[in-house]
Amino acid sequence: MMRTSPLDHAHPCARPALAILMVVLIAAILLVTPRLQAAPAANTADNELAFDDQPLADALHLPDWFNLSFLDLNESLEEALNEGKSGLIIYFGRKDCAYCKALLEDNWGDPAIARYTQRHFNVIAIEVRGSRTVTDFSGKKWSEKDYSTAMRTNFTPTMLFYNKQAQLALKLPGYRPKYQFRAALEYVADAHYARESFRDYLARAELALSFGLAELNDNEVFQAPPYNLDRRHISDSQSLKPLMVFFEHPRCHACDVLHGDTLSNPQIEQQLQQLDVVQLNTQKTTPVITPDGRKTSASAWADELDLTFAPALLFFDEKGNEILRIESVIRFYRLNKVLEYITGRHYLRYPTFQNWLQHSRNQRSAEE
């Protein structure tokens, strides 16, 4: 039987653009990721998904080409448009953030990606714990910290891409591999958001880029089907565990890395025991009843959630409400802290993970 490619199923008018996208993504991934014949070794130094994610001892320095700003977003966007740019990127970060370092050094440290960014966008930085005044597009004033909370930046780095009309074209939370980050830049710069979701934009090309294990990684903590995740009618909500759903698919390198070391850590294993944990294959039509009681399938639910990264980890409270989601590279330190935030039910008091994380750090400093 003759094999087909994504191009064979595309509309003829879309084929040139699709071909360009696939070539760009294939070239990027070949440059940054070695070809693998078996499960990847997560501890190798040349693996961009495997790094120590503990808080940095030395403060990060932003690239000198970031735009100096008084954090008036309308003025910043107007300045970008006057320079002929496609829009504005707001970078939310922390000076001690290992994921921010990976973004700045691996992604924006690539001269080609840095040039492309500067050609199409102005970039301004907001410190998620900062006190400078931010004036948003409606004219409302915030501190950097409060604005970061309002924009629900659970994880750093988070980037908000605004188009020429001051409309949010894309929110990119967390650190993404280089080829996905370059695709995000092109998705906004070329206004693909006006025609399709970022999920669909990535999926068409990633069909040709996937590599890794041919089956899902197993873990004894995963509950077996049937997947009735409806939590609305369980009376004893105090004894009910929060729910964690892994959305994965075969030939997912980032999934293999996560399972290869992070999930096997004893601290992580112990915290997972305090949750109801389910793994779903986003390429399968496995029946699922969602936490809010709707009948669907694994693939349809992933589409509805508009997930753009695998593995995606979603957390739901005892009543079936989504607490937060992780759609980016995650290593031991961050995952361990997220699980502590969830299992300790700190989400009941702190609206974002970042709020709680800063509180816990301040508390430790006071005790010391």
Residue 245 phi/psi, 5-degree rounding, is -115, 120
pLDDT of residue 37 exceeding 60: no
Q: CA–CA separation, 160 vs 351, rounded Å?
A: 19
Distance CA(25)–CA(208), nearest Å, equals 9
Report the pLDDT value the prediction gives residue 207, as an integer from 0 to 100: 60
User: CB 108: neighbour CB atoms within 10 A?
Assistant: 20
Going along the chain from its start, the domains and CATH numbers come out as 15-209 (3.40.30.10), 227-367 (3.40.30.10)
Confidence of residue 18 (pLDDT cuts 50, 70, 90): very low
DSSP secondary structure, 281-326, as one string:
ETTS--EEE-TTS-EEEHHHHHHHHT--SSSEEEEE-TTS-EEEEE
CB neighbour list of residue 230: distance below 8 Å, 6 or more residues apart:
289, 290, 291, 292, 293, 320
Tokens, residue 317: 């409270």
**Portion of the chain with pLDDT greater than 70, in percent:** 83
5 has pLDDT over 70: no
Q: Quick check: 8 pLDDT over 70?
A: no
Q: Summarize the confidence of residues 251-261 as an average pLDDT.
A: 91
Which range, of 237-241, 321-325, 350-354, averages the lowest pLDDT? 237-241
pTM for the predicted model, two decimal places: 0.82
Per 3-state DSSP, what percentage of the chain is helix, strand, and coil (rounded to 5)? Answer: 40, 15, 45
Rounded to the nearest 5 degrees, what angle is found at the Cα of 344, between the Cα atoms of 341 and 349?
A: 75
pLDDT at residue number 231: 85
Give the pair of three-digit tokens for residue 161: 């891409």
Query: What's the chain's average pLDDT?
Result: 87
* Range 243-256 average pLDDT: 94
Compute the CA torsion angle 184, 186, 188, 193 (nearest 10 deg).
-90
Q: What is the pLDDT of residues 153-211, one digit of tens each?
A: 999 999 999 999 999 999 999 999 998 999 999 999 999 999 999 999 988 766 655 66
Cα 43 to chain centroid distance, Å, stands at 21
- Confidence tier at 45 by pLDDT (50, 70, 90): very low
Within 8 A by CB and 6+ apart from 53, the residues are 98, 99, 330, 331, 332, 333, 334
Q: For residue 64, which of 121, 118, 102 has the smallest C-alpha distance?
A: 118
Pull the structure tokens for residue 44. 């190798």
Who's near 68: CB < 8 A, 6+ residues apart?
none
The token pair at 110 is 């690539």
Would you say the C-alpha torsion 15, 20, 23, 24 has a positive or negative sign?
A: negative
Q: What is the pLDDT of residue 232?
A: 79
CA R_g for the chain: 21
